[in-house]
Structure 1
Amino acid sequence: MPRLPQRPDGKSWAPVGVAIVAAIWLATSMVHRIAPQEKGIVTTFGSYSRTLDSGMALTMPWPIQQVSVTDVTSIRRESIPEGDGEKLMLTGDQNLLFLTYLVRWNIKDLKQYSFQLAEPDQTVREVAEAAMRQSIAEVNLNDAMGSGRQQIEQNVRDRMQRVLDAYRSGVSIQGVDIKKTDPPTKVVDAFKEVLAAQQDAQSEINRAQAWAEQLTARAGGEATAFDKVYEQYRLAPEVTRRRMYYETMERVLSQTDKVILESNNVQSYLPLPEMKRTQPKPAAGGN
């Protein structure tokens, strides 16, 4: 075996090498740098001791104490279902719905997150699925696929947070985002036909309402005009009555071939209606 070189005083370098290795070991196992977005859990012989915040920290050397560092500020995302899986849920009006959504969360209490639950990430997924199924069961299909999505997302977030707080999971739910709501693949064609029929029905309802509004407006206008005529009639009944008579006779007799004359200078045998029909029309653009 080759011998280690000796120091000038004739002693061995082995103690010095052991001291250097021990110093390096102590430095790496006792001094810890925690990043701003991280926190550390200190365990003494496997039992929780304390939580380290960001910065430099000192602990006892391994194996007496160990430090587990975890990012607690970054947002974690759980996409449900994973991959191409299909999650069918039942709505309040007994319709099946294929729904995909995203859960955003982070760690608010590292001690609880590390020691309270055996698999906290899996627990978050299971709680999210239970909360989503319960929220979807409270609404009908149209709300789930349309205007009610925002309220569903808020309900799921609130339910998840209450359950996870009861579990003392140390998890904070930042939000739930519904990405897609579709009917099951096997009934998508029939579902499209139903949607088309509903849209046609809504179009007919809109047209009927528009016609009813026009009719109501016209009736209101006629009522207003009648009120104005009545006011004039109250001021001058005879004049108003005569004017209404003349207007009515003009409207009725304008569709006949009769000519009514009050002058005595016109002979009664003149064929005035025939002359009126045979009178040539003026040329376009002529004077």
Structure 2
Amino acid sequence: MNTISGAIARMNALWGLAMAGRRSPWGGGDAGGDKGDDDASGEDGQDGDGKGDKPQDRRGPRNPWLPSGDAPPRRSASIEDIFRSRDPRRPGGGSGGPGGGFPGLPQRPDGKSWLPIGIGAAVLALVVLSSVHMIGPKEQGLVTLFGKYSRTIDSGVNFTAPWPIEQVDVEDVRSFTVDAIPEGENEKLMLTSDKNLVDLSYLVRWNINDLKDYKFRLADPKESVREVAEAAMRASIAQISLNDALSGSGRAQVEEDVRNRMQRILDYYKAGVAIQGVEIKKADPPAKVVSAFQQVTVAQQEAERDRSEARAWAQQLLARAEGDAESFEKVYEQYKLAPEVTKRRMYYETMERVLRDNDTVISAADGVTPYLPLSEVRKRTPDNTAAPVPDATASGGQ
């Protein structure tokens, strides 16, 4: 135990001796912290190398990250001193170097600034870019002179006066614009001729046919097209019944009627728009009464089925009647040729048809057995076929 304590004491003594000869990088005291600068330099204010410290070396702590260990003098916090230090009129002041000049730009060989040349180049580039216009194959450009219409330019390279004298507004005039009415999954209810409501969803395809009218006649051409489409659709739906609107049988006529109405209205206002087509996507009953409409539809389908079955039965009955009439006509023709033979044959056929399914027959004719065991006769026949009815004349009676 004493050996360990002695080793620790010797290590502490060696560490104290090693740190006693080192100076603190922050100035002031040594590494041991119990001696000042006076201990490391001598009584006469000299360092270990025999040279005296400068007065500024003792003003404060030193920066260990600088080569000399001294911090540079701090800059003044006054805004006036900062701008005064960059005054180009002072020798060496400003970023343009001695003699002044525009800050940040080099000087020309003759000593003048590049600023006028730079401004002139920017103005020239603006003039060139605002005077040359490349119009696409499906586009047209509307040229305005100080805000007033001047002309319309077609596709290709075109030249105009520079901005702000003339401006060009380019629009696509050949591609179709498709408007869905209503937008999204909203409900659009319209009244039919029989005072019922129907939920309609349709598409309108249109394009620009006169760019001048399109730009200057209407404040908002796109919204105007949508409003005209809704007005025309309501007017057309009000002329047909609910069944025609839901069944789809009259949709083609409604679509054509709406397109013609829209074109007449837009031409009247000189909107510069051509309506290419109208397509009804959906025609359903209102959402609140869908179940009732479904029940009505089921009832209508059942009624139509019953009517179809009745028509089929009537056709079958009529065909049978026509067949019987044709058969009677043939029999009548034979009757006119041989009345007695025809009557006898008809009598036999009738009796055969009547007695075919009877088991017992009682006859009161003279000379005929009153009881005919037809069931026993059928059993005795080889193929269980009905025995032929005996001829009444053969027994002495008719």
TM-score by length of 1: 0.86
Question: 8 Å contact 1:259–1:272 — kept in the other structure?
Answer: no
Does 2:263 correspond to 1:161? Answer: yes
Q: Distance in 2 between matches of 1:248 and 1:135?
A: 67
Distance 2:157 2:369 in 1: 124
Any conservation in 1 of the 2:182–2:188 contact (CA below 8 Å)? yes
Helix, strand or coil: the match of 2:325?
helix
* Corresponding residue number in structure 2 for 1:220: 322
CA shift, 1:205, in A, is: 1.2
Question: 1:171 — aligned with what?
Answer: 273
Q: Which has the larger radius of gyration?
A: 2
The Cα of 1:246 is off from its aligned counterpart by 2.6
The answer to which of 234-243 and 210-219 deviates more is: 234-243
Distance in 2 (CA, whole Å) between partners of 1:199 and 1:52 is 61
Q: Which residue of 2 aligns with 1:240?
A: 342
What is the CA deviation profile of residues 14-63 of structure 1, one whole-angstrom value per residue up to 9, with x for unaligned ones? 45434422331122111000001111100001111111111110011111
Within the alignment, does 1:92 sit opposite 2:193 as a pair? Answer: yes
Equivalent pairs counted in the alignment come to 278
Unaligned runs of 5+ in 2: 1-93, 385-398
Return the alpha-carbon distance in structure 2 between the equivalents of residues 160 and 193 of structure 1: 36
Q: Which amino acid aligns with 1:55?
A: G
Residue 150 of structure 2 corresponds to which residue in structure 1? 49
Deviations 1:126-155 (A, max 9, x none): 111111111111111111011222221221
| Structure 1 unpaired stretches of 5+ | none
Q: Are residue 71 (structure 1) and residue 172 (structure 2) matched?
A: yes
CA distance, structure 2, for counterparts of residue 47 and residue 107 of structure 1: 20
**Secondary structure of 1:83's aligned partner:** coil
CA shift for structure 1 position 171? 0.8
Alpha-carbon distance between aligned partners in 2 of 1:270 and 1:204, rounded to the nearest angstrom = 50
Secondary structure of the residue aligned to 1:62 is coil
Which of these residues, 192, 210, 214, is aligned with residue 294 of structure 2?
192
- Please identify, of 40-49 and 152-161, the stretch whose mean Cα deviation from structure 2 is larger: 152-161
Distance 1:114 1:281 in 2: 103
Aligned sequence identity (%): 58
- Of 131, 152, 155, the match for 1:30: 131
Higher RCO, Cα 8 Å, sep 6+: 1
Q: Which residue identity lines up with residue 114 of structure 1 in the other structure?
A: K
TM-fit CA distance, 1:66: 0.3
Q: Which of the numbers 260, 283, 286 marks the counterpart of 1:181?
A: 283
Aligned 8 A contact 1:259 1:273 in 2 = no
Q: Which residue of structure 1 aligns with residue 354 of structure 2?
A: 252
Q: Secondary structure of the residue that 1:82 maps to in structure 2?
A: coil
- 1:273 aligns to 2:374 (yes or no): yes
Contact residue 192 and residue 239 of structure 2 kept, 8 A: yes
Retained in 1: the 8 A contact 2:141–2:171? yes
Letter in structure 2 aligned against 1:159: R
Indicate conservation of the 8 Å contact 2:361/2:372, yes or no: no
Q: Once structures 1 and 2 are overlaid, which stretch shifts more, 84-93 or 10-19?
A: 10-19
Change (3 A) 1:278 1:247: closer
Which whole-Å CA distance do the structure 1 matches of 2:185 and 2:375 have between them?
86
Q: Structure 1 pair 235/62, CA: closer, same or farther in 2 (3 Å)?
A: farther
Q: Which AA in structure 1 matches 2:319?
A: A
Q: CA deviation at 1:178?
A: 1.5
Alignment RMSD, CA only? 2.7
1:151 to 232, 253, 256: 253
Q: What is the alpha-carbon distance in structure 2 between the residues aligned to residue 271 and residue 132 of structure 1?
A: 84
TM-superposed CA distance for 1:117, in Å, is 0.7
Query: Judging changes above 3 Å, is the alpha-carbon distance between structure 1 residues 270 and 111 closer, same or farther for their aligned structure 2 residues?
Result: closer
For the 8 Å contact 1:98–1:182, the answer to whether it is kept is yes
Structure having the larger proportion of residues in helix: 1
Once residues 78 and 24 of structure 1 are traced to their aligned partners in structure 2, the CA distance between those partners, rounded to angstroms, is: 41
Q: How far does residue 242 in structure 1 lie from its aligned partner after superposition?
A: 3.5
Distance 1:88 1:50, change over 3 A: same
